[in-house]
Chain A
Amino acid sequence: MSSIHPEWRSAVDTYNNALTRRQFFRRSGTGLGVAALGALLGERLAGAAAPDGKADPLWRIAPRAKRAIYISLIGAPSQLDLFDYKPALRPRFKEDLKGWLSAQGERLTGMTSGQAQFPLAPSIYKFSQHGRGGAWISELLPWHGKMADDLCIIRSMQTDAINHEPANQLIYTGSMQNGKASMGSWLSYGLGSLNQDLPSFVVLHARHSSPTANVQAISARLWGAGFLPGQHAGVAFRNGADPVLYLSDAPGIPRELRRSMLDGLEQLNRRSYEQLGDPDIQTRTQQYEMAFRMQASVPDLANLSGESAATFDLYGPDSRTPGTFASSALMARRLAERGVRFVQIFHRGWDQHGSLPRDLSSQCRDVDQACYGLIQDLKQRGMLDDTLVIWGGEFGRTVYCQGTLTETNYGRDHHPRCFTIWMAGGGIRPGMVHGETDEMSYNVVRDPVHVRDLHATILHQMGLHPERLSFKFQGLDQRLTGVVPAKVVEPILA
């Protein structure tokens, strides 16, 4: 039990001991109830009725969403070519922004700071207005246009980091420093699981289809538990035979033999427990049982063959190919349906320093229809109301061109001062656009939303008090939102 938050340890121990005395000798090898299992796992943090009748933790507030799906576009999609429409820039094609930029005083990355010129690169894409809110959406995302009324587009996101590593860490762990807990692990820690057969935080890695895309590295720290107990780390589901590592039994071990092996294991462990009295022995037995159940539940989850043709059509043709973004989106719905608290889909290849038209269009094709499919599917199943969906990258891209600018080709460097994300479902106001940038899509001029405000909003919608949800580490109350005060973005709440 050493991994349980100290505040809960005594309660869990008390419960364990009660279990020990009253139930253990009466229980069969496999008959542990889910409630008992939850307690053993420390998952009473979920706030379900506690065996000792303790009230909900202080950090719980009324939730608007039960679960969340975060679509993480690694590399940072260009807001200028997708959502942040700047028609006035067209005539200013190739205007050198060198003087203007130095007046802004912004740091530039080492990749463009040496450029002699900073030619303005207007987007070459057509934009049109969609939905009742009249949101401008680029022709690269036609399916997004169709669902504009479901989305809340935030054009005024801001971050502190100018390069991928620190920016990804900031947006997915709340800090540019190593060793912090990821967003999903915070949700798992704060809310616990809704399904005893699956982890509460699942990560999906979706393939990008463009062979030329500029691909950034990601690392387990983006979904790690940091200082939180290890069981809250995201579990990366994989494509192929073993969606969870080591899930399949070794070749030559049929299911019935695994079952009888575990029955024997239980008997032998029980005998150890009788001799030694260590409650960790019972916990271990339960974990072996849960592993056994996962061996059945996870392949069932990963087996998409039961999905209807209509569903596949909704997500698009790629959804039949494992590992694609579309297939991952469908998998995300299946996970959400089964009570996984937080599903994070990582899709790489959005770093368009050069050849943006060629690569961005391909990246958009990967995700456009599938995102539409996911939102519609959730809606059709009545799940959108309590499922929060977030879509976006780690920062924005520059209005000036990196490399050579031609009529048809350009690239864009990193830009932390503004970028666009969207949110849907989970108590977020649909069909709205929040925030505004200046004529260059350079600075936010209305309703800035810092990354920590996004974190506060996500926690808030999930029923967690952004400031009270904390964990003592290194002498500090660590929070996802960090030390600078964060605010819930009230205007976007439904």
Chain B
Amino acid sequence: MSSLLRLLRPLARPPLALLGLAALGWVTAPAAAPTPTAGPAPETAGSAAAALPTAPLSFNDHVQPILSENCYHCHGPDSSTREARLRLDRRDDAITARGDYDPAIIPGNPAASPLIERILSTDPEEQMPPPETHKTLKPHEVEILRRWIAEGAAYQPHWSLIAPTRPAVPAAGRGWARSSIDAFIAARLEREGLQPSAPESPARLLRRVTLDLTGLPPTPDELAAFLADPSESAYTRAVDRLLASDAHAEHMARQWLDAARYADTHGIHIDNYRSIWPYRDWVISAYKQNLPFDQFSIEQLAGDLLPEPTLEQRVATGFNRCLPTTSEGGAIEAEYEAIYAKDRVETLSTVWLGLTTSCAACHDHKFDPISMRDFYSLAAFFRNNTMPVMDGNVAETHPNVFVPVPEDRAAWAQLAREIDGLERALAERRTAGETDFARWVAGATVTALRPAPLDHRTAIHLPLDGSDGPNPLARFAGRPENGGATAPAALTPAATPAAGPFGPATRIDGRSLPLGRELPMLQSSQFSVRFLIRVDGAPSGTLLSARTEDDAAPGWEIFLEDGKPALFISEGNGEPAIRTVNANPLKPGEWHEMLFVFDGTGSHFRLGHLHVSGYKLIDTGVLRMFRSDIRPAAGLRLGGRQVRAGTDENLLKSGAVWLQDFRQLDRVFSHEDAMLESRGIVSALTSLQKPADQRQKDDLKPLREHFFSAIDPVSRGLITATEQLRAQGRPMRDRGAVSLVMVEKSDSTPHAHLLKRGEYSQPGERVEANTPEALPPLPTGTAANRLALARWLFQPDHPLTARVTVNRTWQQLFGTGLVESAGDFGITGARPSHPDLLDWLAVDFRESGWDHRRLLRQLVTTATYRQSAAVSPALLERDPANRLLARGPRHRLDAEVLRDQALAASHLLSRRIGGRPVKPYQPDSIWEEVAMKESTTRFYQRHQGEALYRRSLYTFWKRTAPHPSMEILNAPSRETTCVRRDRTNTPLQALVVQNDPIFVESSRQLAAAALRAAETFDGRLDFITLRLLGRPLATEERGVVQGFVTSARETYRAKPALAADLLRVGDSPADPSLPPVELAAWVLAASQIMNLDESLTK
């Protein structure tokens, strides 16, 4: 440490006065007073009248900004708002007569051109733009148009649509420039009469580059090593070290996730948890491997369509699944299908194309050459996948893949292979066993149809076939899940015996048989009940109940009313109970299979379905949304509900009921499975009752199912083995997670319909998937699907992808892109401040094989990046936003970096990578205030221990209520793609860094470490500032902190209880060996340093 301090000490000289800096020569000589023409305004190039070249005017640089601002709204690409059939965005249209209209522009003759005439007119009827638009051209703008027409009115495509070629590197910046990039910057500075700033001090530079590349501050050791090595290569070696680090991969991923609109919830309405974090981890690992940007993009957009995609490539397609989705009751599918496609087009356009296509969802783009047809042709690429429109509010909306944790990958794959093998063997057995089946079925009798075997999810099984003896529950008695039920009352002996499929069936008479189990309807529960039933007459009475006789008490019941299947559910919350009776009675004298399925997990409605012999008769979803958990006031009973002793109100009336093969399973069935399940035995029975020679092919199906699942020992063995393997896999399943992926529909080609005014309900002409007309076409002979689209982005003649990507990377480091509107390279977007540099970088990036890490390395090693960020008033006035880059970048750190910096400085930071999202400290009731009662993200239960100190990119992101400190510090909501974060400066931000417990706790641990590390005031202060600022304070600054520590110490000495309060903030233990008063005073000092502008800023 002491050597480091020695290295740093010389830097801690008294502050340079601003005047002094000018004397050092890094500020231009007292420049001529800035004139409007010399300003750095790349975005207002059109206004630079005095700077017009003597050579012919450039359409793109000079003319188009004026036309697009003033004329295109009515005379541009959008046909629906076009006036007088005049288009000014295309030369042919502008110089051609249209019916009665003269050409608007007569090349070479401005005086005769109606365009100029109308602009100069003072007649409100004639004047252009019309007075009601409140737009007026300035004299120099009119002059530009006049000269341009005089010069022949040449047009150019919009600059960003012309494929970049590598421009010559200017001969500029000699003695300063370290690379071609610097030469471009220097050339512009020379033109502007400015000089670059002095190099940044080594300590500040290392802090800047470390924060930029890893999102973490340099450690004192890293700083020491860097400062100790004056060689030229020390910096590049530091850069390489940073680029290779895990922290770098995490930091890059975190920024990409804004573009991908990644979050951990669905986003719309109920906003439940969504399982997609393996995708987030894929992004981290992609950056860790420095996956070339083309591959990185193609795998995310279309990894599923690559030949034999790996698990990783499928996980990567989660990019397409990050969008907000809904399952709001009543939502209209067609509407959301259109919304999802639009979101995906918008995301693709913003992230790779830098075009704002969303306007073209409703009308042709007002300014850019993107038509509605283009928009819907792009949308078509994203409308041919198997994702359901309604997400079901489940975490794992299909399609999805299971992703084992890395350590389990091999074992999981092995298990999957084995299961696969068994399933293949089972399929083979079903073919090979056909003769065995034929033999069995020839001699099969009704009694041969033994019920399907029990599996581990069968909680209760009552054969009710005479084999149960007088006590059908005996074999289940004592099982813990039966609540230790013993010896329940026997069912009534059959007064009228009935032959069931499997023997003499048990008649029920309404008296109650407790099954020794509670069966609540909870948000977390899934269960089903299945039994065979036969009635005589049209009986009324209870079949199965979990309720008392009190209708208002919570409970449910399956019953018959005049022979009709019926369902009763009471929430017990004051809401009237549901009592619903099916329209048709059970046909007497026949056996039926009844299946009741309850699923509380799959939806924000708790759903109950009653099926009889393959038909869904009752669906509670259409009746009512159950909002509360239902915990019945009585346990599960067969044959009658729990009543007060001595009453018989539940006795079955008007008929007789027999039951057989009663099962209660702790599982649900999908709709299709439920239909099969509830007609399995019954249809097998029906088939079996037909004479063998009259059986049709379909009649054999249920019998074959039964044979291979219940009779054939070979296949039963295979089934059991499969079950065992699945059970073995369960712990791996619990460790890993499902991730949502994209799967293309195989039976249709991508297409879409133009939607009039963007309304889902107004479909128009059908279009096939295609790329926008103004951009290069797809290669001929390729199927137009997502993969083709993804590959098309990286065609060498593509004008946008490389430019947009290098620009975004530039923005990451310099705060603003060369094109300020990072998501809009269109006509109304900003124009590049350094067009040649942008093109040079784009071509270089493409030719490097889309090597993103190389690009970062190139940028951070420039002299431009390594300049001091100090600015003189004169330069500030010339270039307030630093678009000319006569100084180094300086801006506030992102929300996540601020928190991670505090954790890293205080040694609290966990360095674990990836995994489930974590829930660190958050103020109370942030979620409850906005959440629905049913939401799985209604209550925020914060984690404990290490999870509190993970890097911020692992914080659980609930879309409708993101973590408030992140939100206050300008993290986007992740509801739409975001390629450029807002950066405000508000008092709420000051409150976060002062008072959010994580910042207070970090200050506390940083102070404790300082107290342990050093005895003296100076030593302790150095310990803190080295970690947060990368430098020791100057003498004058030390005095300020010392004064504060002294007064804090006095306060805490007088009121030790206050010190104790402060030291209790945060879960991590306080060091009992440190004197509380001294520690508390230092906690405040650490917090003060943490709140310095210098700490908050890179």
Q: Which residues of A contact B (CB under 8 A)?
A: 1-3, 6, 9-10, 13-14, 17, 20-21, 58, 107, 109-111, 114-115, 162-166, 177-179, 199, 205, 211-212, 214-221, 224-225, 229-231, 235-236, 238, 240, 242, 244-254, 256-258, 260-261, 263-265, 267-269, 271-281, 283-285, 287-288, 290-291, 294-295, 353-355, 358, 403, 409, 413-414, 468, 472, 474-476, 483
Contact = CB atoms under 8 A, between A and B. Distances in A.
Contact of B873 (A17, A220, A290): A17
Interface residues of B, number: 123
Contact of A217 (B960, B964, B990, B1062): B960
B992 interface: yes
Interface in B1054-1098: 1055, 1058-1065, 1080, 1084, 1087-1088, 1091-1094, 1096-1097
A58 B983 CA distance: 26
A280 B991 contact: no
A29 to B, nearest CB: 11
Contacts of B1091: 261, 265, 288
Given A250-B1065, A265-B1088, A244 B1093 contact: no
Given A114-B622, A291-B990, A475-B356, A217 B931 contact: yes
Interface string B456-488: 000000000000000000000000000000000
A164 B17 contact: no
Given A218-B930, A252-B1063, A179 B976 contact: yes
Given A251-B1065, A254-B1051, A474 B983 contact: no
B1093 A267 contact: no
Contacts of B269: 164-165, 216-217
Interface string B332-352: 100100010000000000000
B134 A178 contact: no
Given A219-B959, A220-B960, A252-B1059, A272 B829 contact: no
What are the 5 A-B residue pairs with the smallest beta carbon separation, nearest first?
A252-B1062, A109-B330, A219-B960, A252-B1061, A475-B828
A85 B261 CA distance: 46
Contact of B997 (A212, A250, A252, A260): A250
B60 interface: no
B827 interface: yes
B982 A268 contact: no
A237 to B, nearest CB: 11
Interface stretch (B586-594, B595-603, B1042-1050): B1042-1050
A257 B359 contact: no
A265 B995 CA distance: 15
A243 to B, nearest CB: 11
A483 B823 CA distance: 22
Interface string B810-823: 00000110000001
Interface in B336-385: 339, 356, 358-359, 362, 365-368
A3 B983 CA distance: 6
Main secondary structure on chain B at its contact with chain A? loop
A105 B1087 CA distance: 64
Interface in B971-1015: 973, 975-976, 982-992, 994-997, 1000
A359 B1097 CA distance: 52
B623 interface: yes
Nearest to A179: B976
A245 B988 contact: yes
Interface stretch (B436-444, B506-514, B610-618, B864-872): B864-872
B328 interface: yes
B134 to A, nearest CB: 7
B698 interface: no
B16 interface: yes
B880 A10 contact: yes
Contact of B880 (A9, A229, A250, A271): A9
A272 B1094 contact: yes
Contact of A475 (B622, B827, B970, B975): B827
Given A178-B976, A214-B627, A217-B271, 4 more contacts: A2-B815, A111-B329, A220-B973, A475-B359
A299 B678 CA distance: 63
B992 A275 contact: no
A235 B967 CA distance: 11
Given A164-B269, A251-B1065, A245 B880 contact: no
7 contacts: A13-B877, A164-B269, A252-B1061, A263-B1044, A264-B1043, A268-B1041, A268-B1094
A294 B987 contact: yes
B1040 A267 contact: yes
B1037 interface: yes
Nearest to B1052: A252
Given A252-B1080, A280-B1097, A291 B988 contact: yes
B722 interface: no
A220 B870 contact: no
B275 interface: no
B720 interface: no
Contacts of B218: none
A17 B366 contact: no
A254 B1058 contact: yes
A253 B962 contact: no
B990 A212 contact: no
Contact of A235 (B623, B624, B988, B1065): B988
B576 A355 contact: yes
B881 to A, nearest CB: 7
B824 interface: yes
Contact of A162 (B332, B816, B1084): B332
A476 B828 CA distance: 8
B1065 A231 contact: no
Nearest to B962: A220
A212 B880 contact: no
Nearest to A256: B1051
B574 interface: yes
B647 to A, nearest CB: 28
B1092 A272 contact: yes
A17 B965 contact: no
B932 A217 contact: yes
B1084 A257 contact: yes
Contacts of A21: 873
Contacts of A268: 1037, 1040-1041, 1088, 1092, 1094
B910 interface: no
A197 to B, nearest CB: 9
Contacts of A267: 1040
B15 interface: yes
A215 B627 CA distance: 10
Contacts of A110: 329-332
A353 B982 CA distance: 41
Contacts of B622: 114-115
B930 A251 contact: no
A476 B76 CA distance: 14
Contacts of B398: none
B1016 to A, nearest CB: 19
A246 B988 contact: yes
Nearest to B827: A475
A285 B1093 contact: yes
B268 interface: yes
A216 B330 CA distance: 13
A415 to B, nearest CB: 12
B873 A245 contact: no
Contacts of B828: 472, 475-476
Point out which of A21, A218, A220 has the most chain B C-beta atoms below 10 A from its C-beta.
Answer: A220
B929 interface: yes
A353 B988 CA distance: 40
A290 B335 CA distance: 45
Contacts of A212: 573-575
Contacts of A13: 876-877, 880
A360 B331 CA distance: 23
A3 B358 contact: no
Contacts of A273: 1093
Given A220-B962, A475-B359, A271 B1036 contact: yes
